[in-house]
């Protein structure tokens, strides 16, 4: 096996300042199902992959500076799901960065942030 043989992304790991706050957001607001929950590791099953949270603090994690986003995660839904997701975000008092918008590149998009400033996108192909 060589690095050129890699064909799947199994885990996306978000480094967190407050794992409990992030766990609550992804579980309660987005409705993701927890697959594993420990003090230092929260794993959600999302489709065929995992979204995992772990505390920032290992020597190689680096430091967080500024208030800019560190990552953008995109989640595909049905076209009508974009509007439904928008309403659910509003119902949960989540600040929406950009409401549902039909883009020229053939997607309907919705943008917002998680509690640690990562940009999240809900989109549908049109």
Quote the tokens at residue 14: 């978000």
Instruction: Give yes or no for a contact between 41 and 1, defined as CB atoms under 8 angstroms apart.
Output: no
- Per the domain annotation, does 18 fall within a domain? yes
Average pLDDT of the chain is: 95
* pLDDT tens digits, one per residue of 12-58: 999 999 999 999 999 999 999 999 999 899 999 999 999 999 999 99
* pLDDT tens digits, one per residue of 61-71: 988 877 778 89
Same domain, 90 and 51: no
How far is Cα 108 from Cα 124, in angstroms, rounded to an integer? 5
Range of the domain at 30: 1-57
Q: Other C-beta atoms within 10 Å of 125: how many?
A: 11
Same domain, 38 and 76: no
How far is Cα 51 from Cα 35, in angstroms, rounded to an integer? 10
Same domain, 52 and 77: no
Same domain, 77 and 122: yes
Tally of helices (H runs) and strands (E runs) in the chain = 2, 8
CATH at 4: 3.10.180.10
DSSP letter string, 32-90: PEEEEEETTEEEEEETTEEEEEEES-SGGG----SSS-S-EEEEE--HHHHHHHHHHHH
* pLDDT tens digits, one per residue of 19-30: 999 999 999 999
- Per the domain annotation, does 48 fall within a domain? yes
Same domain, 51 and 86: no
How far is Cα 69 from Cα 9, in angstroms, rounded to an integer? 21
Query: The whole model's pTM is what?
Result: 0.92
Same domain, 32 and 83: no
Same domain, 38 and 75: no
- Region 87-91: what's the mean pLDDT? 98
Q: For the chain, what is the domain count?
A: 2
């Amino acid at each position: 096996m060589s690095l050129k043989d890699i064909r799947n992304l199994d885990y996306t790991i978000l480094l967190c300042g407050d794992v409990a706050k992030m766990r609550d957001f992804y579980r309660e607001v987005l409705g993701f199902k927890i697959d594993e929950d420990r003090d230092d590791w929260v794993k959600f099953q999302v489709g065929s992959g995992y979204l995992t949270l772990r505390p920032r603090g290992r020597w190689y994690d680096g430091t967080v500076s500024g208030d800019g986003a560190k990552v953008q995660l995109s989640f595909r839904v049905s076209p009508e799901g974009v509007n439904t997701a928008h309403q659910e975000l509003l119902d949960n008092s989540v600040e929406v960065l950009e409401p549902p918008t039909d883009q020229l590149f053939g997607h309907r998009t919705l943008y917002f942030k998680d509690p640690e400033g990562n940009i999240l996108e809900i989109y549908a192909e049109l």
